[in-house]
Amino acid sequence: MRIGERVRAGEVLAALGNSGKSDAPHLHFQVMDGPAPLASEGLPFVFQTFEIAGHVSSLSVLADGTGWHATEPVVRARQEIPALNAVVEFR
């Protein structure tokens, strides 16, 4: 990918990985209204479909080695923005 390049639905953007102090592969994804990260605003992005595997009650479980474990049944979501601290899966 190049800066400013347009993408289409279904196009592969990146590979997930497990780097840093985390217990699972993860992705940080953000859509912005400009090219400069510190001078741009984030924009909402609706996903067509995904599964909500649960929620992280505190981000400390991702940093202290405790790890996250599902405590809720998986829910299929459509045309939504995942909630804050939601653990989601895309298939």
pLDDT tens string 10-54: 888 777 777 777 666 777 778 899 888 899 999 988 889 999 998
Residue 72 pLDDT > 90, yes or no?
no
The pLDDT of residue 23 is 65
Buried b / exposed e along 36-60 (16+ C-beta atoms within 10 A): eeeeeeeeeeeeeebebbbbeeeee
60 or 80, higher pLDDT? 80
Tell me the C-alpha distance between 5 and 59, whole Å.
32
